[in-house]
Copies of this chain bind each other. A is one copy, B any other.
Amino acid sequence: MGLLRKSSRVFPGLSARRRRIWIKLGLEWARLPWQDKATFRRVKSIANEIAKKYAAVISLGIGGSYLGIRAAQDALAPPYYNEFAASRKKRPQFFCEGNNLDPDTLRALLKNLNPKKTFLIVISKSGETAETKAAFAVAEDWLKKGAGIRYGRQILAVTDPESGALRNRVNAEQKRDSLSFRGLPLLKGVGGRFSEFNMGLLHLAIIGVDIAELFAGAREMSSRCGAADLSVNPAAMYAALHTILYRKKGKAIALMMPFSETLKATADWYAQLLGESLGKKCGRKIAMNRSGEEEWLKDETNIVNVGRTPVSCRGTGDLHSIQQNNIEGENNKITTFIRVEKFRDEVKVPGKGDILAGRTFTRLICLAQEATEWALVQESRPNCTIIMPEVSPYHWGALLYFFEMATAFEGELLEVNAYDQPGVEGYKNYMYYRLGRAGMPEAISRKIENHPLIKDPKFIV
């Protein structure tokens, strides 16, 4: 109960000082659903042009800039969108690449598309992310060779509004030709995993989603998540209960299980949000930076190694997979179900006499979700259910905003900085050192040279 009392203090009456720091360190995302109409119009007009002129779009991005788009595509585009032209209703195919360094998928995609009919979107704040940068170099080269001298008009960069390698490239190309290498801004203070309502807008408009609806849902959720009373604030309650069960009962695994095929990718998106925001080695401290502003710093004297581990799955499919372990294995998990009450389409089981005959799929999938809830309770396994009236832009916008807010609150309770990701630097150092980058600090290069991976042969079976 200590934690629950603390929760009431922490949310949502954040002190003015904390709120200031929140905003400085990443809470800008919380204001994204209030973007102005001029932004909408610009995005929509480019999207319409792309949708009319091109047969395919390739979107290059990784992390949130891939997972957010995949989540939106699966949830809000018609199923089998890329496979069947009739599903797309004259809109272009939409492919995500640059989210891996696998040569097979990128090569196969480029082989199959016509460069004259393909539009390229590249998403990177700095332009230095290895995967996206490498894929962009390859795809640009392919466009250049296949689409003619004005190939730059088939490229748009979603990047930092002011600085960075990709922004510089945009500015240089724009000087030559204002239709070449157009840019859309990644807003300051919005991290990749919190950026769907910013970075994802062009994609949403291309596949024909009503962005205003999406934002309306997010705004409604925002007002609910601002309630001062914990018991009617869903994000605060979610964060408080999960943190209590994590800290007091060892429920260290967070299972996200939508009962909907089209929300599986949203569960994958949430896995990044939770894992990257809260999986932290160090606590945090408030300090002054050089400009005399307060900011959070990693408190290296406070090693916490904290964070629930996310697992994304989907019902009913995974009832026939990892569910056996959820029900009978270690009792170290909390399951969050998402139940969809109305699907876009309906299917009824034909026939007579059989127990399934005459039932709708919606009835069956909702019943399966309820049954799974029941089965978990029988084994004293904690779980909660998010009820989603339908997978519409409005409700999906609300869902994402809810998860973002709940994660932010959870970060407050765990007292970690939910907006950095220092743990991903290690592998980059190693990689760039081995690729011969000059100027690596000696402390790092010595660590790499002394490591058995290089000095000794590995232990091999």
8 contacts between A and B (CB under 8 A): A107-B345, A272-B321, A280-B329, A305-B329, A307-B325, A309-B332, A324-B422, A375-B423
Question: Complex: how many Å from CA A451 to CA B374?
Answer: 8
With A101-B361, A262-B102, A345-B107 as known contacts, state yes or no: A309 contacts B253, CB within 8 Å: yes
Q: Which residue of B lies closest to A436 (CB)?
A: B355
Question: Complex: how many Å from CA A423 to CA B333?
Answer: 15
Count residues of chain A with CB under 8 A from any CB of chain B.
138
Which residue of B271, B309, B326, B365 contacts A102 across the interface (Cβ within 8 Å)? Answer: B365
Q: Do B356 and A137 touch across chains, with their CB atoms under 8 A apart?
A: yes
Q: Is A171 interfacial (CB-CB < 8 Å)?
A: no
Q: Do B345 and A103 touch across chains, with their CB atoms under 8 A apart?
A: yes
Question: Complex: how many Å from CA A79 to CA B333?
Answer: 35
Which residue of B271, B427, B437 contacts A372 across the interface (Cβ within 8 Å)? Answer: B427
Q: Is A252 interfacial (CB-CB < 8 Å)?
A: yes
B-contact 0/1 string along A436-461, CB 8 Å cutoff: 11000000000110011100001001
Copies in the complex: 2
Q: Is A314 interfacial (CB-CB < 8 Å)?
A: yes
Which residue of B87, B138, B371 contacts A434 across the interface (Cβ within 8 Å)? Answer: B371
Chain B residues, CB < 8 A from A105: 79-80, 261-262
Q: Do A104 and B356 touch across chains, with their CB atoms under 8 A apart?
A: no
Q: Is A331 interfacial (CB-CB < 8 Å)?
A: yes
Q: Is A63 interfacial (CB-CB < 8 Å)?
A: yes
Q: Is A148 interfacial (CB-CB < 8 Å)?
A: no
Chain B residues, CB < 8 A from A346: 103, 107
A20 to chain B minimum Cβ distance, whole angstroms, is 25
Q: Is A106 interfacial (CB-CB < 8 Å)?
A: yes
Question: Complex: how many Å from CA A213 to CA B298?
Answer: 53
B-contact 0/1 string along A368-391, CB 8 Å cutoff: 101111110111000001000000
Which one of A238, A309, A359, A452 has the greatest number of beta carbons of chain B within 10 Å?
Answer: A309
Question: Complex: how many Å from CA A84 to CA B305?
Answer: 46
List residues of A (94-149) whose CB comes within 8 Å of B's CBs: 99-109, 111-112, 129-131, 133-134, 137-138, 141
Which residue of B272, B368, B461 contacts A322 across the interface (Cβ within 8 Å)? Answer: B272
Q: Do A328 and B316 touch across chains, with their CB atoms under 8 A apart?
A: no
Q: Is A243 interfacial (CB-CB < 8 Å)?
A: no
B-contact 0/1 string along A300-321, CB 8 Å cutoff: 0000011111110011110111
With A365-B100, A371-B428 as known contacts, state yes or no: A107 contacts B347, CB within 8 Å: yes
Q: Is A336 interfacial (CB-CB < 8 Å)?
A: no
Q: Do A330 and B350 touch across chains, with their CB atoms under 8 A apart?
A: no
With A112-B80, A112-B84, A362-B103 as known contacts, state yes or no: A367 contacts B431, CB within 8 Å: yes
Chain B residues, CB < 8 A from A195: none
Closest 7 CB pairs of A and B: A279-B325, A279-B329, A63-B320, A375-B426, A307-B329, A327-B423, A103-B361
Q: Do B374 and A319 touch across chains, with their CB atoms under 8 A apart?
A: no
Question: Complex: how many Å from CA A31 to CA B338?
Answer: 41
Apart from A99-B317, A311-B311, A323-B424: 16 A-B pairs, beta carbons within 8 A: A66-B320, A80-B112, A137-B349, A137-B350, A138-B347, A231-B461, A278-B325, A280-B324, A281-B329, A309-B330, A327-B423, A355-B432, A359-B435, A367-B431, A374-B448, A375-B423
With A305-B329, A329-B309, A345-B104 as known contacts, state yes or no: A453 contacts B322, CB within 8 Å: no
Q: Do A305 and B328 touch across chains, with their CB atoms under 8 A apart?
A: yes
Which residue of B330, B377, B423 contacts A306 across the interface (Cβ within 8 Å)? Answer: B330
Q: Is A93 interfacial (CB-CB < 8 Å)?
A: yes
Q: Is A233 interfacial (CB-CB < 8 Å)?
A: yes
Question: Complex: how many Å from CA A330 to CA B309?
Answer: 8
B-contact 0/1 string along A261-278, CB 8 Å cutoff: 110000010011011101
Which residue of B66, B86, B276, B448 contacts A112 across the interface (Cβ within 8 Å)? Answer: B86
Which residue of B63, B322, B379, B448 contacts A321 across the interface (Cβ within 8 Å)? Answer: B63
B-contact 0/1 string along A57-101, CB 8 Å cutoff: 000001110110000000000111011101100000100000111
